[in-house]
């Protein structure tokens, strides 16, 4: 009897999960289609760090594929809040009403703001110096002929990495809520965190000069400190609830 109930529940969850996947795919397609309409504007923005160096396509379809790739990845970014909302609804039976409200009205908007902030930060500070450095290294003995497809893949990957780095507070707070870390652990590991932030930026953008490198790492350190004090406040709130 118990086994049959488990099988029925498993089938029900698989069916719901299949519907969620279909909805996610449809939302991404719709968002990508909307982004495609303004793809030329997005391409102009992303090519500004090249300072007039032209892009080339090596195959007849590469120009179209680069445009589709930008639209698809832009669609994922635009659709991400809706995708997270669907996942929350899918896990509805597991999550309490209070947690769902917290996720929908605080976590999703905050994570979206942080991610878009990371994209803007990467575009303004990280990409220009990185592109200039890499092209300067090559022009000493070669003439640059840049593939549009490869260039946009590089730019999108770089921006995506910086955007994920800016999600640090959400990740740390989530880990604290499930008991993996505490504010005391983060305080003790502060020096390690600063070192890791330097390493992560060096890996993502090795071409930054000393001043820009410090300027880029400062927001990560600030986000880390904000995470610590947010967790401290949450722990104090948990302590008050237990005392009652």
Of 74, 72, 76, 65, nearest to 45 (Cα)?
74
Please tell me the distance from the alpha carbon of residue 116 to that of residue 162, in angstroms, as a whole number: 10
Q: Which residue has the higher pLDDT, 143 or 26?
A: 26
pLDDT digits (tens, 9 = 90+) for 21-55: 888 889 889 999 998 888 888 888 888 888 888 88
* Position 244 confidence tier, pLDDT thresholds 50, 70, 90: low
- The Cβ of residue 213 has, within 10 Å, a number of other Cβ atoms equal to 19
Q: Give residue 92's pLDDT.
A: 57
Q: Which residue has the higher pLDDT, 42 or 90?
A: 42
For the chain, the residue count is 244
Backbone phi, then psi, for 60, in 5-degree steps?
A: -55, -30
Please tell me the distance from the alpha carbon of residue 52 to that of residue 58, in angstroms, as a whole number: 19
pLDDT digits (tens, 9 = 90+) for 209-228: 666 677 777 888 888 888 88
Residues in a beta bridge with 88: none
Q: Give percent above pLDDT 70 in the chain.
A: 80
Please tell me the distance from the alpha carbon of residue 77 to that of residue 50, in angstroms, as a whole number: 23
Q: Give percent above pLDDT 90 in the chain.
A: 1
Q: Classify strands 55-56 and 146-147 as parallel, antiparallel or unpaired.
A: parallel
* Position 6 confidence tier, pLDDT thresholds 50, 70, 90: low
**What predicted TM-score, i.e. pTM, was given to this entire model?**
0.75
Contact 182, 235 (CB under 8 A): yes
* Position 14 confidence tier, pLDDT thresholds 50, 70, 90: low
Query: Taking the domains of the chain in order of start, what are their residue ranges?
Result: 1-238
Q: Which of 1-5, 8-12, 160-164 has the highest mean pLDDT?
A: 160-164
């Amino acid at each position: 009897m118990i086994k049959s109930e488990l099988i029925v529940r498993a089938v029900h969850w698989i069916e719901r999960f299949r519907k969620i996947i279909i909805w996610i795919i449809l939302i991404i397609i719709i968002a990508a289609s909307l982004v495609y309409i303004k793809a030329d504007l997005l391409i102009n923005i992303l090519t500004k760090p090249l300072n007039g160096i032209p892009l080339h396509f090596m195959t007849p379809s590469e120009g179209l594929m680069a445009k589709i790739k930008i639209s698809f990845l832009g669609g994922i970014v635009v659709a991400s809040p809706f995708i997270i909302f669907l996942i929350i609804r899918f896990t509805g039976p597991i999550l309490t009403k209070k947690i769902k409200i917290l996720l929908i009205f605080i976590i999703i908007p905050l994570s979206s703001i942080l991610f878009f902030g990371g994209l803007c930060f990467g575009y303004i500070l990280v990409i220009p110096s990185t592109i200039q450095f890499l092209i300067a290294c090559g022009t000493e003995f070669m003439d640059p002929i840049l593939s549009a497809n490869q260039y946009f893949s590089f730019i999108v990957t770089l921006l995506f990495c910086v955007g994920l780095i800016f999600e640090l507070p959400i990740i740390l707070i989530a880990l604290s809520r499930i008991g993996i870390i505490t504010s005391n652990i983060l305080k003790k590991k502060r020096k390690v965190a600063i070192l890791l932030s330097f390493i992560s930026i060096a890996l993502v953008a090795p071409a930054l000069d000393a001043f820009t490198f410090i300027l880029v790492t400062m927001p990560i350190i600030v986000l880390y400190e904000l995470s610590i004090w947010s967790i401290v406040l949450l722990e104090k709130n948990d302590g008050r609830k237990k005392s009652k």
